[in-house]
Every structure is written in C-alpha cells, then in structure tokens.
Chain A
Amino acid sequence: MTPNTKEFETFWDSLDQELASVPLDLVTERDEFYSEPEWTVYRMTYSSLRGYRLFSWLSVPRQLAQSKAPAVIRMPDYASVHDVIYTSLRHNSVLMNPTYRGQRLSDGSFQAQYPGLLTEGIDQPDNYVMRLAFGDALRAVDALLGQDIVEVGPWTAMGSGLGGSLALASAFRRSTCVGVAADTPLALGNPAVVNPESMSENMAYPLAELGDYLRIYPHRSSKVVESSSPLDPVKMAAEIEAPVLLALGKRDRGQCPLPVGEELASRLPKCDLRVYDGANEGGGHEHVAIRIAWLKERLGIA
C-alpha cells in the first residue's frame, strides 16, 4: 500500500484551514409546511468556502429517547435537487440533508449543470468546483454540530454516488463520525477512471464527463489529475477510523467501477463490503434494510 503524498495531506489541511477562516454564520428557520406530527423541519443556511451561502434541510424528531440526539447526515448525490427523504431513521434521529454549491437552494450565485459540474474549473486546481463541494460537505458537518436546536450525540454519514464520497470525506476529516454508509461512492480522482481504457464510450455519466472533457482538451490531462486526485476516496480510506458499510454494483460504469470499489474496501480499516448485481443503484431495495439496521446499530438506536 502506497502512503499518501505530502501534496495530498497539504491539500486537505489547507482546505480545512480555509474553512476555519470562514465564520459559519448559521441561520435556522422552522418550516411549518413540511413539518409533520413526528418531526419538525428546519431550513438551515450557513457559509462555506469563499463565503458561499449553503442550504440544508434539518429534520428533528419531536420525541427523542436520548438526551443527546443521534444524527445522520445524508450527503447529496450528483444531482441538482437534494430534498428531505423519508426514512424510518427520521423517527428517532436527526436527519440533515445538506447541499453543495450549485444545487437547488444553494444556487444563489452559481447554478450547477448536469452533466458539466464534474469538470467545472478542473483546469484550475484551487478553483475546481469539486474541491469546493467537498469543503461544503465538511462545512455541513460543522453546521450540524454547531446548531443549537438539538444537542447532537453520535452522528453518521450516508450517501450514494458523489454523496457516498462526501460521506467518506466527512469521516476522513471529522473523526467524531461513528459510521459511514456509502453506496457506489464516486471514484473521482482515482487513476483508474482517467486512463484511456476507462475513458471509452462504455463509461456512463457522471464519470464519463471526464472522458468528454479530455477528448476536447487532451492537453489538460495533468491538470485533471492534479485537481481531482486528492478527492479519490481510495486515498482517504486508510485514515477513516469509523466503520464503513460499502455497497457496490457489479455493473456500475458511472460511479464506482467494481475494481475501484474493491480497492477502496481493501484499504478501509473497518469495512463491511456488500457487492450486488446492479449498476449504480448498488444494492437497491435489498440494501436499504441492511443500511438502516447498520446505521441504527452505529447510532445506538433500538
């Protein structure tokens, strides 16, 4: 196993330093319309890298068994909308649905495009939008732990696709995380997804966006590697102390090709790997029940 480079460590340290220099400036507003008898819904806004204002939904159960509430951050996937989902976890844990910049409700000054976002600014490593989006995910954890509506106890992160990678990054940089459920985490930055063979027309979106980009700008390949490489979940893996439930799809060609996922699993210190027949839907319905039970166990919910 190759140790991570100094550039990798510097990338993440400087990202966190930059985040620390931005006041959170958290505002929460109760949303009566979407609150229900079992939970109260809040609209949260807070600042992230470069002062960008971000939006998040926060669902808080009206009755909590614990003095410190268990919490789940459901990281956003590669899509314009990240809404409040129903899950049975909502009945007895805080559920946060944060967005990254460019997504709906966090699109005040920048509207992300799909496809398109994955290569936005990729020729400028410091300005690469995905670097900023990973910063936004870390800032969401800060907002969850910094809000004063409910005192949060154990917290977990979950997500699929890009959301899976953002969940892994949360645990990588925020060591209080007690578990990560990642489905087909986006293999952005992994060497396997920027080699000529994997750039074939058989790749599916969103990873295929990298192939589109390099077909038009072949001379920028080193910049693509430089910008995306620190975001490779495989590179983060060894330093993730929290247990990880990882779901992969054998036919996945757009999020986390099986060999990359297996390499990721092999590098995670505590990984429960589940491989399914699907594509980027991972385990689909079968995995939903497994994931909920696994998260409940991590959160200490009966």
Chain B
Amino acid sequence: MATKEDLESFVTQVTRPDDFEEFWQGVMAELAQAPLEPRVTPEPMRSNQSVQVSQAFYRSLDGLEIFAWYSVPAQGEGPFPAILVLPGYKSDPGLRRDWGAKGVAVLSVAVRGKLRSNSQFNPGYPGLLTHGVESRDTYSYRGVIADCVRGVDFLLARPEIDPDRIYVSGSSQGGGLALITAGLRPEVRGGVSGYPFLCCFPESMKMLRSFPYDELNCYARAHSGRVPQMIETLRYFDAVNFALSIQCPMVVGIALEDEVCPPETSYAAYRNLAGPKELWLFPNSGHGNAHDYPAKEAAWLDNQIKQDLTQKVHG
C-alpha cells in the first residue's frame, strides 16, 4: 500500500510544454466557433417526483453530436446549481437522479466514443487512449476534452441553471477530466476528482499493468519508433499540467491501493492545484471502490453549493 510519504516524495517527469496555453487557447477558439445546437428531449420513464430527466445533445469539436443525461429538479423554479459529471474511461455515463431532491441539476456527459455519442467516432475500449496519439492535433482526447468543456457551455445556455454555481465531478477518467475542465473553464466553481486518471502518463504506464494505461505499453511495443512522439503528445493532455491553472476549490480523492491509477500520480495533480484544495486518502481501498467516497463527494459538493449561494446572496 502506498503511504502519504510515498505520494509526497514522488516527483513526476511531466512538465508543461511552453506552448501549452497557446495550444489550448487555439482548441477553445475553434470550439467557440462551432454552433452549440443544444437539444433536450424529455425522458418521462426516467423522471420521478423529484427530478425531470431528459436526453440532452449538443455539438462539439469536429461537428460531433454529444449525448448527455440531463437531470433537473422537479420542484422549485431555479435557477439551480449544476454539477457536470464526467465519465470513466470505459463506463457508461450514469443517469443521476440523486441530486434532484436537493435542488441541484446534473449533466452527465457521454464523451465521444461512448454510447449515443459514437456514431461518427468509435475507436473502442481498449483503443481510445492511443487513437491519434502521434500528434496533439489528432489525439482523441483533444475532442474528448472539448466535449467536457462543451458541457459547461450547455449548462451556461440553460435558463434554469445558475451560471455562478457550476461544479464538476467524476472518478477515474472522470476525475482527470474534472481537473482538466476546471483548468480550462473559470466558470467552474469547484469540483471533486476521484482516483484521477490521465495523470503522469510516462510514469503511470510503467508503474502498473492494468488498462487503460497499459494500452500505451501495447502501442509502444507495436510502434517503438513513435514513443517520443507519443510522450510529447501526452504532455498536452496530462491533468497535472491543467491543475496548475485551477483556481477554484478542488478535492482529489486517492485510494492508496489503487491498481489502475497510481496514487502517486494522482497526488502529483493534487500538488499542482493552484486554488484551495483538499486531499482525501483512502487506505485499504482500490480503484473506484472506497466505501466512503460517494458520501464524502456528495457532502462536499452539497456544502460548496450552499456556501456559494450564501456568498452570492450576501455578497
């Protein structure tokens, strides 16, 4: 089991490219030019007394249509705070009805390649992590990250959502994407990143044998001559480099027995956070299965949402 000392002594070789901000400003500018074209289709079967569930769609980079589950409180008029929930690598986006009774909306995004968002782009699992990794301009995660950022745009375009109270959360890949989205969009007011993936790629692929990181080893074996290119590309998509831009309150949750996302690498992202931050360590827990994590995540977000409302009302 990793110890806190192990985490603190770990130093990643990942550094931020000099043109990191320029690259992402370019991607964001390209994204801003694309029409959002939001659509919402009510889903009566999934709705109940506390929450109205809809299928949401919006356009992202390369014109792809992205699907999300959109859950809005059935009671009250809003505007409601909202949580952008970002998905794990291979898992399906959860339909979240647990926040409706608390007066909170949830947008749970199926990034490109996932069910309902894969008609034009479908590299598979395994597959996504190495798709187009030869260049930062062709890498799959350029679009995946854009899909998450577009989720913020979707929420900002909704009249029932309070634009000053948008939060992010997710576990595993969703944890990495939560950090990245918060790093790219200052409208995000806080978030929780659990067991974050997409951290310290060069070390992570060597520390464990599990997919998804092991996909990079498969790629390296098959294309040994392209490894330097791959490592260079990944610098632009590493969550530790986005953490440096995050000013809002963030939590990083780490399972000390994590066998999928090395705890040291998640800590490297935590260390880089530029704003208020909180660290949760879960001993005797593995990837995604700390028994207390869901309740802690819900309590932290609930508290943050209430604090921000108080601050907004009282200035």
**B294 at the A interface (CB under 8 A):** yes
Q: Are A284 and B289 in contact (CB under 8 A)?
A: yes
Q: Are B284 and A285 in contact (CB under 8 A)?
A: yes
Q: Is the interface of B mostly helix, strand, loop or mixed?
A: loop
Q: Is the interface of A mostly helix, strand, loop or mixed?
A: loop
Flag A81-92 by CB within 8 Å of B: 1 or 0 each: 101111000000
CB distance from A84 to the nearest CB of B (A): 7
Q: Are B289 and A281 in contact (CB under 8 A)?
A: yes
A236 vs B289: C-alpha distance when bound (angstroms) = 29
* Interface 9-mer from A16-24, A111-119, A123-131, A263-271: A111-119
Interface residues of B in 31-62 (CB under 8 A from A): 44-46, 48-50
**B163 at the A interface (CB under 8 A):** no
CB distance from A81 to the nearest CB of B (A): 4
Q: Which single residue of chain B is at the shortest CB-CB distance from A208?
A: B97
A198 vs B170: C-alpha distance when bound (angstroms) = 28
Contacts of A215 in B (CB 8 A): 45, 48
**B288 at the A interface (CB under 8 A):** yes
Q: Are A286 and B50 in contact (CB under 8 A)?
A: no
Number of A interface residues, CB 8 Å? 33
Q: Are A284 and B291 in contact (CB under 8 A)?
A: yes
Number of B interface residues, CB 8 Å? 39
Q: Pick the contact of B284: A36, A85, A205, A286 (CB < 8 A).
A: A286
Q: Check A216/B45 contact, CB under 8 A, given A205-B94, A278-B289.
A: yes
Contacts of B90 in A (CB 8 A): 79, 81, 83
Q: Are B218 and A284 in contact (CB under 8 A)?
A: no
Can you list 23 A-B pairs, Cβ within 8 angstroms, ordered by A? Answer: A34-B126, A36-B221, A83-B211, A84-B211, A86-B209, A86-B211, A86-B259, A104-B124, A105-B124, A111-B115, A113-B116, A201-B97, A212-B46, A215-B45, A215-B48, A276-B291, A277-B291, A278-B291, A279-B294, A281-B288, A281-B289, A284-B285, A284-B286
B-binding residues in A (CB < 8 A):
32-34, 36, 79-81, 83-86, 104-105, 111, 113-115, 201, 205, 212-213, 215-216, 251, 276-279, 281, 284-286, 288
